[in-house]
Structure 1
Amino acid sequence: MNLLLAPFKGKIFFSILLLLSFFSAFAQEEITKPELQEIKVDSLYREDQFYFAFTYNTLQQKPVGLSQQKFSIGISGGILRDMPINKARTKAFATGLGVSYNNYNQNIGISGTAQNAAYEIIPNSDFDKNKFTQLLIDLPIEFRWRTSTYQSYKFWRIYGGMKFSYLAYSKSVLNNEDGKTVITNNPDFNKFLYGLYLSAGYNTLNVYAYYGLNPIFKSAQIDGEKIKMNSVNVGVIFYIL
C-alpha cells in the first residue's frame, strides 16, 4: 500500500510547492506595484488643466445716468498648461487659451451703423431690450499656490494673474419704439482688453474675480465725453484635470 501511495504523495508535495511559489510571486507583485506607481505619478502629475467660469458682469467708471437693469452674465472656459516650479509641486505657473462670452444689459443706446454709431443714455422705460455682447479669445497667465499632492484631488488653492483678450466678435441690440437696431463688430469697441484676476477656494468650489484695466470702448463718446467704462466680473470657477 505504501508503495502505491508514494507517487501520489510526490505529486501532492510538488503541487504544494507550485502553489506557494505562485502566492509568493503574487504578493511580491502587489508590494512592488504601488511603489512603481508612486514614482511614476509623483514625477509627472500636474493640476487643473481645464477651467470653466460663470460670472456676474458689472461696469465701472460709468457715464452719468448709466444703469444696469438686468442680470448680465459671463461664461468662459479653456485649457491651461500647469508648470510646477518646486519639488513639492505646490507652486506653479500656468498659461493657455480660452474663450469668453460676456453680456452687458444697460441703458446706453447704440444706434446708427457700425461705421457711424451714435451713443446716448436712454431711460429704462424707453426700450424693451438694450444690451451689447462680446466674444473674446483669452490668453491667461497665472501664478499658482496650492496644497495638493499626487494622492489627493481635494486641496486649497489661490491662483492669480493677468488675462489678455482679443475681441473676436461684438454685437449690440437696441429694441425700442423706433424699431430694432443691431450692430455687429462695431469698431468703437476695444479690440484688445487686459485685466487682473484672482481665484481661490477648496476642491471644486472656487470664487473668481476679474478687474479690467483698460476701457471696453476705444473711441465711443456721449455728448463729447469719451466712454471710459471697464468691466468687473465676479463669480465661480471650476477646474478639471
Structure 2
Amino acid sequence: MFTSQPDTLMRLIITRNTLQKLIVLSFFALINWHSYAQDIEEEEKIELIRIDSLYREDQFFFAFTYNTLQQKPTDLSQNKFSTGFSGGFLRDMPINKDRTIAIATGLGITYNNYIQNLAITGDSNNPVYTVNTGDYSTNKFSQLLIDVPIEFRWRTSTYESHKFWRIYGGVKFSYLLHDRSVFTDDTTNAIIKGNKDFNKFLYGIYASAGYNTVNVYVYYGLNSMFKTASIADKSIDMKALNVGLIFYIL
C-alpha cells in the first residue's frame, strides 16, 4: 500500500516545523547559557575585588640576633657570642591601591644579652664601672624590653601568595622592663638588678629584607644604653648594633 502525496507533504511540513523549533530552542538556550556565564564571571570579579580590598600583611614576627656594642670605652671588648631574641605582632595598613606599600605598627618584646669585660659592681643605686682586663669567669649584662615599632613596608605580595620579596624599615621605641648585670672573678660576685644608670627609654632604626618567611634583620640604637654611667669621669655612651634573622608568620 502506497502513501499518498498529501500525507508525505504533511510529514515534511511537521518535520520542518520541528526542526525550526529545535533551532529556536537551541538559540535561546545558548543565549541563556552565555548570560549565565557572564553573571558567574561578574560575580567572580566582584569577589576578587572584595577579597583584594581586605588584604593585609598582619604578621607575627620572631627575630634572633648577634648583639654588638658600638662606641665602646677604651679596652672594652666582647670576647664571646652575645645573643638576643624578640617577638611580637604587627598591624598592616596598606596605603596604595595594589596594597604593596604599607605602614605597620604593633607591640613586641626583646631580650638582649651582652657578654663583655665592663665590670659593674657596687649596687643598683651606686654602681661602679671598670674595664676588667684581668681574669674573670662571668661578665655580662642583659635587658628585657617592651617595643613599639613603626615601620614603612614595600613588598611584592598578593592575597593569593605569601611568598614574596620585602623591604621593611622603621623606628623602634623601647622601654626597659628589667635589667641584670653579673660580674664574677676570684674575689667578687656582683649581681645587680634595676641599675639606675641604664636608660629606661631607648630608640633606634631597623630594617629587614628578604624573601618569604626568612629575612635579614639589623637594628642600630640611636641613643646610649646608659644615661649617667662613667669610667674615670668619662661618660659611657655605648649603643647597640644587633644583626640577625627575622621570621614573619601570618
Aligned partner (choices 117, 126, 132) of residue 135 of structure 2:
126
The alignment partner of 1:38 has SS state of: helix
State the aligned residue count: 214
- 2:147 corresponds to which letter in structure 1? D
Cα deviation per residue 1:52-71 (whole Å; 9 max; x = unaligned)?
Answer: 11000000000000000110
Deviation at 1:33, TM superposition (A): 7.8
Cα deviation per residue 1:116-147 (whole Å; 9 max; x = unaligned)?
Answer: 11000002x52101100000010100000001
What is aligned with 1:62?
Answer: 72
Matches within 5 A, 1:36-185: 37-123=47-133, 125-185=134-194
Deviation at 1:204, TM superposition (A): 1.3
In the alignment, structure 1 segments of 5+ residues that lack a partner are: 1-26
The alignment partner of 1:172 has SS state of: strand
Deviation at 1:36, TM superposition (A): 5.8
Give the Cα–Cα distance (whole angstroms) in 1 for the partners of residues 39 and 68 of structure 2: 59
In the alignment, structure 2 segments of 5+ residues that lack a partner are: 1-36
Cα deviation per residue 1:66-92 (whole Å; 9 max; x = unaligned)?
Answer: 000110011001111100001100000
Q: Cα–Cα, structure 1 residues 182 and 33, in superposed 2: closer, same or farther, change >3 Å?
A: farther
Give the Cα–Cα distance (whole angstroms) in 2 for the partners of residues 98 and 208 of structure 1: 15
Matches within 5 A, 1:190-205: 190-205=199-214
- 2:64 corresponds to which letter in structure 1? F
- 1:77 corresponds to which letter in structure 2? G
Give the Cα–Cα distance (whole angstroms) in 2 for the partners of residues 187 and 115 of structure 1: 6
What is aligned with 1:20?
Answer: none
The alignment partner of 1:41 has SS state of: helix
8 Å CA contact 1:72, 1:103 repeated in 2? yes
Percent of aligned pairs with the same residue? 63
Give the Cα–Cα distance (whole angstroms) in 1 for the partners of residues 216 and 44 of structure 2: 36
Give the Cα–Cα distance (whole angstroms) in 2 for the partners of residues 77 and 189 of structure 1: 22
8 Å CA contact 1:48, 1:239 repeated in 2? no
Give the Cα–Cα distance (whole angstroms) in 1 for the partners of residues 109 and 128 of structure 2: 29
Give the Cα–Cα distance (whole angstroms) in 1 for the partners of residues 62 and 116 of structure 2: 25
1:208 aligns with 2:208: no
The alignment partner of 1:45 has SS state of: coil
Give the Cα–Cα distance (whole angstroms) in 1 for the partners of residues 76 and 218 of structure 2: 22
Give the Cα–Cα distance (whole angstroms) in 1 for the partners of residues 138 and 39 of structure 2: 68
Cα deviation per residue 1:26-70 (whole Å; 9 max; x = unaligned)?
Answer: x99997885565333212111142111100000000000000011
Max radius of gyration: which structure?
2
Deviation at 1:175, TM superposition (A): 1.2
Cα deviation per residue 1:90-111 (whole Å; 9 max; x = unaligned)?
Answer: 0000001100000000000000
Q: TM-score, normalised by structure 1?
A: 0.84
- 1:132 corresponds to which letter in structure 2? F
Give the Cα–Cα distance (whole angstroms) in 1 for the partners of residues 157 and 143 of structure 2: 35
Give the Cα–Cα distance (whole angstroms) in 2 for the partners of residues 181 and 30 of structure 1: 74
The alignment partner of 2:51 has SS state of: helix
The alignment's C-alpha RMSD in Å is 1.8
Q: TM-score, normalised by structure 2?
A: 0.81
